[in-house]
């Protein structure tokens, strides 16, 4: 692997922490200020891309793939059928499908 500039790993580590923090804020704010949550989600996404940090799966699923809004139970419809979990964003109608295996 190519040698990285000094501080690169630390910077990415910080980015990961900030992403977690942004999602925490988004969760705290979404009832009173849903537009802030969308902003936090957008910031987290951009930070992830800029620093090339992967957003953890549980958090990534909280962002709509279509309109990039922060997804909350109020904004989504969830359907589970034939091992496929479908999350529908009620803001833009985008459907996100995930494989689902019943826990054993
Ligand atoms: Zn959407």
Tell me the CATH class for 8-99.
mainly alpha
- DSSP string covering 19-86: HHHHHHHHHHHTTT-HHHHHHHHHHHHHHHHHTT-PPPHHHHTTB-TTT-PBP-GGGEEEEEETTEEE
pLDDT tens-digit profile of 54-100? 999 999 999 999 999 999 999 999 999 999 999 999 999 999 999 98
69 marked among binding-site residues = no
Residues with CB under 5 A from ligand 1 (ion): 64, 66-67, 89, 91-92, 94
Q: Give this prediction's pTM.
A: 0.86
How far is ligand 1, taken at its centre, from the CA of residue 47, in Å? Answer: 20
Give me the residue spans of the domains in the chain: 8-99
How far is ligand 1, taken at its centre, from the CA of residue 89, in Å? Answer: 5
Give the single-character DSSP code of 99.
E
How far is ligand 1, taken at its centre, from the CA of residue 18, in Å? Answer: 23
């Amino acid at each position: 692997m190519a040698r990285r500039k000094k501080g690169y790993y630390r910077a990415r580590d910080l980015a990961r922490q900030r992403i977690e923090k942004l999602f925490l804020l988004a969760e705290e704010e979404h009832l009173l200020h849903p537009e802030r949550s969308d902003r936090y989600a957008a910031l987290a996404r951009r930070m992830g891309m800029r620093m090339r940090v992967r957003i953890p799966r549980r958090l990534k699923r909280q962002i709509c793939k279509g309109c990039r809004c922060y997804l909350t139970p109020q904004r989504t419809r969830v359907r589970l059928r034939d091992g496929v979990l479908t999350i529908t964003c009620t803001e833009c109608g985008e459907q996100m499908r995930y494989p689902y295996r019943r826990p054993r």
